[in-house]
Amino acid sequence: MHSSKSTLLAALASLTATAHGRLLMHLPLNETSGTRANDWSGNNLHGTYVNGPRLEGSNGARLDGVNDYIQLPNNLLRNLGSLTASIEVNIRGEQTGQYFIYGLGNTARETGFGYGYLFATGDPQLRVGITPTHWDFEAEVRTNRPLARNTWKTITFTIEAANGGRLGLYDDGRYVAGRTNTLPITAPGLINSGSTVNNYIGRSVFNLDKYLAGSVRNFRLYDNVLSANEIAALHRSQPTQPTQPTQPTQPKPEDRVTTALTQLSIPNSDNVRGNINLPATSNGLTIRWETSDSSVVRVNGLVTRPVGRDVTVVLTARVSVDGVSGERSFFVTVKGT
Residue ranges, the chain, pLDDT below 70: 1-21, 163, 181-183, 186, 237-250
pLDDT at residue 182 in the model: 64
C-beta of residue 26 within 8 angstroms of C-beta of residue 84? no
Shared domain for 305 and 224, answered yes or no, is no
> Helix or strand or coil: residue 125?
coil
Shared domain for 27 and 173, answered yes or no, is yes
What is the spatial distance between Cα 119 and Cα 198, in angstroms, rounded to a whole number? 12
Q: For the domain that residue 37 is a member of, what is the CATH number?
A: 2.60.120.200
Shared domain for 275 and 216, answered yes or no, is no
- Classify residue 301 as exposed, middle or buried by CB count within 10 Å of its CB (0-12, 13-18, 19+): middle
In a domain, 96, yes or no: yes
Shared domain for 171 and 310, answered yes or no, is no
In a domain, 185, yes or no: yes
Count how many domains the chain has: 2
Shared domain for 103 and 188, answered yes or no, is yes
What is the spatial distance between Cα 198 and Cα 250, in angstroms, rounded to a whole number? 28
C-beta of residue 101 within 8 angstroms of C-beta of residue 120? yes
Shared domain for 229 and 282, answered yes or no, is no
Distances (CA, A) of 331 to 15, 90, 275, 328: 24, 59, 15, 10
Shared domain for 150 and 272, answered yes or no, is no
Distances (CA, A) of 324 to 70, 240, 264, 290, 301: 38, 33, 18, 18, 26
In a domain, 82, yes or no: yes
pLDDT at residue 92 in the model: 97
Shared domain for 123 and 222, answered yes or no, is yes
For the chain, first and last CA: distance in Å? 31
Shared domain for 71 and 109, answered yes or no, is yes
In a domain, 13, yes or no: no
> Helix or strand or coil: residue 192?
helix
Per-residue pLDDT tens digits for 229-259:
999 988 876 544 444 444 455 678 888 888 8
pLDDT at residue 126 in the model: 97
pLDDT at residue 249 in the model: 57
DSSP string, 275-326: -----SEETTEE-EEEES-TTTB-TT--B-PPSSS-EEEEEEEEEEETTEEE
pLDDT at residue 238 in the model: 56
In a domain, 12, yes or no: no
- The residue among 209, 236, 263 that closes a domain is 236
Shared domain for 221 and 83, answered yes or no, is yes
pTM of the model: 0.66
What is the spatial distance between Cα 337 and Cα 334, in angstroms, rounded to a whole number? 9
- The residue among 189, 207, 236 that closes a domain is 236
Shared domain for 86 and 216, answered yes or no, is yes
In a domain, 263, yes or no: yes
Distances (CA, A) of 32 to 49, 54, 258: 11, 8, 35
Please give the residue range of the domain that contains residue 269.
Answer: 251-334
pLDDT at residue 268 in the model: 85
Shared domain for 149 and 287, answered yes or no, is no
Q: Which residues, other chains included, contact 204 with Cβ-Cβ below 8 Å and sequence gap of 6+?
A: 98, 99, 100, 103, 114, 119, 210, 211
Q: What pairing do the DSSP bridges indicate for beta strands 139-142 and 127-131?
A: antiparallel
In a domain, 47, yes or no: yes
In a domain, 73, yes or no: yes
- The residue among 181, 204, 236 that closes a domain is 236
> Helix or strand or coil: residue 239?
coil
